[in-house]
Structure 1
Amino acid sequence: MFAVPNPKILLLAALGLALVGCADEADPNSPEGKRQAAFKDFLSHSEPMGGMLRDRLPFDGDAFAAHAQALAASVEAPWAHFPEPGETEQKHAALPEVWTDPAGFAQAIDRYRDAVAELAEVTAQGVETPEQVTEAFSAVQQSCKGCHDNFRR
């Protein structure tokens, strides 16, 4: 015969599962939370631009330029939110090289800043065709990839 579980036990089990599901979420006020929010903002601009250049979205020069300008406006957002090792217990994807190779990390950030600035400059007067922005956007993507390859899990 099947026994009905104690409702209190069911409630505690459900609460425990809910808390386990939240374990990967960074506190939005923590350095990790602020950094994650900044990188998500980067993605909210770079993904539509990439979609337009890969024919997943219709190309819209005005929207592309607006995304490029917004990306440039947020280019500094995440960098101050890399805490020193041991300052946080929250899970993160940063490799130790962020701290053990600060010169290399700074160079990677500078490459990203420069690529985003170039993209913003190319789009500042408007965008008529994908060909106008393909090279500059590719440089932004390569700078992202370079940083991920060397400084992210």
Structure 2
Amino acid sequence: MIAVPYRKLVVVALLGAALVGCNNEADPNSPEGKRQALFKLMIKQSEPMGGMLSDRLPFAGPAFAEHAKQLAELADQPWAYFPKPGEEPEPNRAKADIWSDPEGFELAINNFKSSVADLTAATQGGVRGPGQVSDQLRAVQQACKACHDDYRR
């Protein structure tokens, strides 16, 4: 009778060990880990703005403007952690096109940064309502989506 609980314990321990090996998190000190961390910070800024415009969250102009400001401060940062053309990339979720089309990728980055700058400019002097910033946030979201569609698996 004691063997059954022991067997269950061994099975649970083995499953736990197997799950630890499935961790897809990058080393936080690696370029991939730094990119992931910065993109997560960007999402923490853009998600509340999207929530405010879709009525998932109450609209608050000052909070929206602060999220836009924080996103603008992050907009230049992750790109330095992508390998340069010719460098061997570490494992990641990028499509091969990101390495074979550096000009297109650079254009996508510039489009994103420009749309974030437009969003931030729209918040200068305060945000009175969703109509003041909806087109600009939509452009930021579209820039993210276009880059993911073209360059991410």
CA contact (8 A) 1:27 1:33 kept: yes
> In structure 2, what is the equivalent of residue 19 of structure 1?
20
One-letter amino acid of the structure 2 residue matched with residue 43 of structure 1: I
Gaps of 5+ in 2: none
How many residue pairs are counted as aligned between the two chains?
150
Q: What's the TM-score, normalizing by structure 1? A: 0.88
Runs of 4+ in 1 over 6 A off after TM superposition: none
Task: Spell out, residue by residue over 1:8-61, the C-alpha distance to the aligned partner (whole angstroms, 9 max, x if none).
Answer: 956862562242242x11111111110111111110011000000000000000
Task: Spell out, residue by residue over 1:86-136, the C-alpha distance to the aligned partner (whole angstroms, 9 max, x if none).
Answer: 342x3x211111110000000000000000000011112110100000111
Q: How does 1:105-144 map to 2 (within 5 A)?
A: 105-144=105-144
CA contact (8 A) 1:69 1:124 kept: no
Partner Cα separation in structure 1 for residue 39 and residue 26 of structure 2: 13
Q: What's the TM-score, normalizing by structure 2? A: 0.88
Q: CA shift at 1:83, angstroms?
A: 2.6
Gaps of 5+ in 1: none
Partner Cα separation in structure 2 for residue 132 and residue 152 of structure 1: 31
> In structure 2, what is the equivalent of residue 86 of structure 1?
88
> In structure 1, what is the equivalent of residue 66 of structure 2?
66
One-letter amino acid of the structure 2 residue matched with residue 131 of structure 1: G
Task: Spell out, residue by residue over 1:45-80, the C-alpha distance to the aligned partner (whole angstroms, 9 max, x if none).
Answer: 110000000000000000000000000011011101
**Does the alignment pair 1:145 with 2:145?**
yes
Give the SS at the match of 1:34. helix
One-letter amino acid of the structure 2 residue matched with residue 99 of structure 1: W
Partner Cα separation in structure 1 for residue 89 and residue 112 of structure 2: 26
